[in-house]
Amino acid sequence: MIDISACITAVAGYVPPDKLTNADLETLVNTTHEWIVERTGIHERRILKGEKGTSTMAIEAVKCLCEKRGITPQEIDAVICATITPDMLFPCTANLVCDALQISSLSFDLLAACTGFLYGLEIASNFIKSGNYKKVVVIGADKMTSITDYEDRTSCILFGDGAGAVLLEPNYEGVGILDTLLQTDGKGKEILYKKAGGSAFPITPQRLEQKEHLFHQEGRQVYKHAVSRVSSTANTLLTRNQLKGEEIDFVVPHQANERILASIGKRINIPYERFTINIDHFGNTAGATIPLCLWEWEKQFKPHHKLLLTAFGAGLTWGAMYLTWGYAAI
């Protein structure tokens, strides 16, 4: 049997043009530019204005992805969209992307919060390895500003909107996604959630009044879990692939706070200069962070570069993925 690995063959991204700066936030809540930069590393974020859903950004990303790879959307065999801010509960956002681009393949959304894009890559990788799918698109897209409470200074400073997408295709030379470790701890439901809007807690005027339809987290606790769990999982993944930290060319992390990333870097023994960082200009874009980073750093990745992808989010969910890069971008 021929060994197939799933290789990223194109990446694309879309961020809306409007910016929300720290100076803008100073006019909304009791905060300062200095506090935000020192505690999070964020300077500005992109926000999708108006009655537009996550799909509008995802559609742009997938359109651009097809153009870059020189394929028509109709050649795509599956579309997976990782999001916690779908346009609506159903039909799913992946279906809306397919409708806009006239794709009739299998398509579904995946809800694993900020780890969603890694979960999507792992599923897509196995689709490709099965031999039944030749072109699988994984989207990470979120309009986090649609669930942000702009009266809560501890969380409204964090989030931005955006979408990224990658195309996975079979590789027969051992290049691509080589190992993944994804984990969950359901007890995390106590410290990171959006309570209302599902079947257990439908939206009511009272719940709206109490802002239960918006993002909530216990920041300090989430912070500690993010550092310890991502470091431990990444170290396990590196060890079982006989890799030392210094052999990794780039770390592509989900980004909720720059201090979290610096701590993880120390614990996994990878110099911080190898971390691809977009939180300073995009904020925390949830499922979109990793593909947006791949998109912005694409030209610096060379064939056979070793990449470590890491993520942490609600669930709790977290994980790490080791892959080798497949192409030199023009």
**Site residues (CB under 6 A) for ligand UT7?**
31, 35, 39-40, 114, 153-154, 157, 217, 219-220, 222-223, 226, 256-257, 260, 284, 313
- What is the distance between the alpha carbons of residues 13 and 248, in angstroms, rounded to a whole number? 24
Closer residue to ligand UT7 in complex, CB, 78/226: 226
Q: What is the DSSP letter of 284?
A: B
Contacts of 283 (CB under 8 A, 6+ apart): 42, 44, 45, 46, 144, 158, 159, 160
Give the C-alpha distances (Å, rounded to integers) separating 227 from 79, 202, 220, 264.
Answer: 31, 33, 11, 6
Neighbouring-strand partners of residue 80: 108, 138
Contact 299, 329 (CB under 8 A): yes
Closer residue to ligand UT7 in complex, CB, 150/327: 150
Contacts of 223 (CB under 8 A, 6+ apart): 257, 259, 260
- Given 254, 257, 278, 293, the catalytic residue: 254
Closer residue to ligand UT7 in complex, CB, 11/279: 279
Residue 281 annotated to the active site? no
The SS3 of residue 19 is strand
First-residue to last-residue Cα distance in the chain: 34
Cis amide linkage into residue 205, ω under 30° from 0: no
User: At closest approach, how far in Å is the CB of 227 from ligand UT7?
Assistant: 9
Residue with tokens 């706070």: 257
Residue 98 annotated to the active site? no
Residue 284 annotated to the active site? yes
Closer residue to ligand UT7 in complex, CB, 150/223: 223
Closest CA to 228 of 191, 268, 278: 268
- Given 7, 64, 114, 156, the catalytic residue: 114
User: At closest approach, how far in Å is the CB of 123 from ligand UT7?
Assistant: 21
Closer residue to ligand UT7 in complex, CB, 56/217: 217
User: At closest approach, how far in Å is the CB of 280 from ligand UT7?
Assistant: 14
The SS3 of residue 279 is helix
Closer residue to ligand UT7 in complex, CB, 16/116: 116
- Given 95, 156, 284, 293, the catalytic residue: 284
- What is the distance between the alpha carbons of residues 179 and 319, in angstroms, rounded to a whole number? 11
DSSP E strand boundaries for 1-131: 5-14, 19-21, 44-46, 78-82, 106-110
Of all residues in the shown chain, the one whose CB is closest to ligand UT7 is 219
Annotated catalytic residues are 114, 254, 284
